Amino acid sequence: MGKFVNSVEEFFKYATDNEVEFVDFRFTDMKGTWHHLTYTIESISAESFTNGIPFDGSSIDAWQPINKSDMLLKPEAESAFLDPFTADSTVVVFCDVFDIYKGELYEKCPRSIAKKTLKYLAETGLGDVAYFGPENEFFVFDDVKIRDDINCSYYEVDSEEGGWNSAKNFTDGYNTGHRPGTKGGYFPVQPIDSMVDLRAEMVQTLKQVGLEVFVVHHEVAQAQGEIGVKFGTLIEAADNVQKYKYVVKMVAHLNGKTATFMPKPLYGDNGSGMHVHQSIWKDGKNMFFKAGEYANLSDMARWYIGGILKHARSVAAFTNPSTNSYKRLIPGFEAPSILTYSMQNRSASCRIPYGAGEKSVRVEMRFPDSTSCPYLAFASMLLAGIDGINTKTEPIGPMDEDLFELTLDEIREKGINQMPHTLRGSLEALIRDNEYLKPVMTPEFLDTYQHYKFETQVWPDEARPTAFEFKTMFSC
């Protein structure tokens, strides 16, 4: 597992050994969408890695104006891996985006922002590496229908596991009756778990592209799964999220199914999150560990938690950046919105995992989801955590009770803040609270990002009537 290439020279040997015909250069936009540009192997040289690959930055949402559209992709040879899905041998290479007008890494490139965040961490002297371990959950459906017109709007997803199919007459076979039901998908064996072989194929393919996989299972909701991937450094972990999502979607696609990382595609069942484990290390030592303290957390770790929870409402603009994100953040569905921390308690927005020894002490933020751009999500949490350390921010807690059982009045009485309830709320928080981001994220990027999210997510969503509104208000 891990790297296949360690230098530009090794890249070309790797390409020769694998009879590569195409090089696929990939980069990530602010939404987290992966884009690619393909060259024949004969047209690529060592200078391509030094000088960069030209592309049109004005064709990417909210990036460059057309009169300053020329930009460069700066490939990172060490990120190379073989695409497991192409008919002709193709090697994929991650790229950063370079701004030729300012002569620096592009301020709106998420991967470049993540690299600048790591540089800032080193400059603070707090640590020399930050580890992140994301847990990306997903749904696999057999069919999805979407309509969004002026007079009609609906979606319909289907899965053989869906309880709604219990009385269905199947044209190609009989109804088996074996289904997990709402909130019944956690760990039942076959035939209730219908996705064992599909997930196994995903695991094998993830291994092919260099990811180390350690656990695979059905998740709580109907048609929901999770594959556990080993943690890595901030950039490595974010790169792995992009690989992971690509592999899961493609394996499902090639099996006649469709995978989604949408946080809440099923009303009334659990949603999909991206729990993120985090720690800061320096000189080979875990700076989050202190024996004998609550959950073996050091002051630095506790202040780090304090920083993230203090800024969580604006951090959410990056970690939960879709309108659908906030349909998941509802107490009772293992999606904590209460901003406190606790040991082993999955109802707290920050959990300290059980059995954390010196090497494994870490904090787990449970509110993020996979609609986020992983580079921006990880960078924003790290920046909030650094601010918390610098200002010695104490988080509320620890609170070891079942927080889902608290009423709103009880939450207020305890002085606990909550996550925003809408994307609008998180973006408005970002406008008010962004100083902690400015050591890395420029005012232009922050302004562009929040305007883009308002224009493409918030306003279109708020303008549309829903089926529930017709159901409850049509006869008023």
221-241 burial code (b ≥16 CB/10 A, e <16) = bbbbbbbbbebbebbbbbbbb
Q: List CB contacts of 9: < 8 A, sequence separation 6 or more.
A: 46
Q: Binding residue per annotation — 35?
A: no
Q: Binding residue per annotation — 328?
A: yes
Q: Binding residue per annotation — 226?
A: yes
Q: Binding residue per annotation — 160?
A: no
Q: Binding residue per annotation — 455?
A: no
Which helix (H) or strand (E) element contains residue 131? strand 129-141
Q: Binding residue per annotation — 253?
A: no
- Distance between CA 444 and CA 438 in Å, rounded? 10
β-pair partners for 81: 92
Strands, E assignment, 167-319: 213-218, 224-229, 232-233, 258-260, 274-282, 285-286
Q: Binding residue per annotation — 311?
A: no
- Annotated catalytic residues are 56, 135, 137, 219, 226, 275, 346, 364, 366
Q: Binding residue per annotation — 137?
A: yes
- Distance between CA 22 and CA 14 in Å, rounded? 13
Which helix (H) or strand (E) element contains residue 22? strand 22-28
- Quote the crossing angle between the two packed helices 312-319 and 374-391, to the nearest 10°: 160
Q: Binding residue per annotation — 42?
A: no
Q: Binding residue per annotation — 277?
A: yes
Q: Binding residue per annotation — 219?
A: yes
Task: Mark the binding-site residues, compressed into ranges.
Answer: 135, 137, 219, 226, 270-271, 275, 277-279, 328, 334, 346, 359, 364, 366
Q: Residues annotated as binding site for ATP?
A: 277-279, 346, 359
Q: Residue ranges for the binding site for L-glutamate?
A: 270-271, 328, 334, 346, 366
**Which segments are annotated as binding site for Mg(2+)?**
135, 137, 219, 226, 275, 364
